[in-house]
Structure 1
């Protein structure tokens, strides 16, 4: 994999994390706001597991599914809380297929709890993969 693709993955993930953070910092919470936050979470999570997969492939590890990717990233110490990431995956899958207001509110609350883990993990990955040619911009 080229350093350019890896850098682009990290930059896209960083932008998605910032947008999710913006959504979580809004003061007015209504159904439209919750829907938008969930959509940003879905997008950010998708970028996350795909970026982790790319990074694992750089290490010679070939995960097959999002779940496998998360488990392998945890096994080598890139993720601190495996159960939290697996719950993110379950919530992501649930938002894709079923929607009702109560589930949306529950998942929205989960997202707010997940965000610190997502941001901390990004910082770990950014530190691990920065070098003079491939440095990801700072926050």
Structure 2
């Protein structure tokens, strides 16, 4: 249970840093790139927290972000709308990590 708490704390801290930057009305190119980076590490922290929670509390092994989202929905941790949004975030994260496209970044 301690590991779950640690992972959740890391995820909360990461989310706060993303929200701080995302609340700015206009981004410079550097801030935009920082926001993309923060999104990536926040996403990673949150899915890892979900993975640890699911394994510890539900006995479910979720070995990928998408399986963590689906398992969270099946366990009742996410509603359908939230799980669909989370799956879209999985796709967005994959796009930011595996490709760099200036138009996509904007």
TM-score > 0.5 by shorter chain: yes
The aligned counterpart of 1:101 is 102
Question: Which moved further from structure 2: 93-102 or 74-83?
Answer: 74-83
Higher RCO (C-alpha 8 Å, min separation 6): 1
Gaps of 5+ in 2: none
Shift in Å, 1:91: 0.6
Give how far 1:64 is off.
2.3
TM-score, normalised on structure 1? 0.70
Within a 5 Å distance, the mapping from 1:1-139 to structure 2 comes to: 3-58=1-56, 59-80=58-79, 81-105=82-106
Query: Secondary structure of 2:100's match?
Result: coil
Structure 1 unmatched ranges of 5 or more: 106-139
Distance 2:26 2:44 in 1: 26
What's the offset of the Cα at 1:4?
A: 2.1
| Matched residues, number | 103
Moved >4 Å (runs of 4+): none
CA–CA separation in structure 2 for the residues paired with 1:28 and 1:103: 16
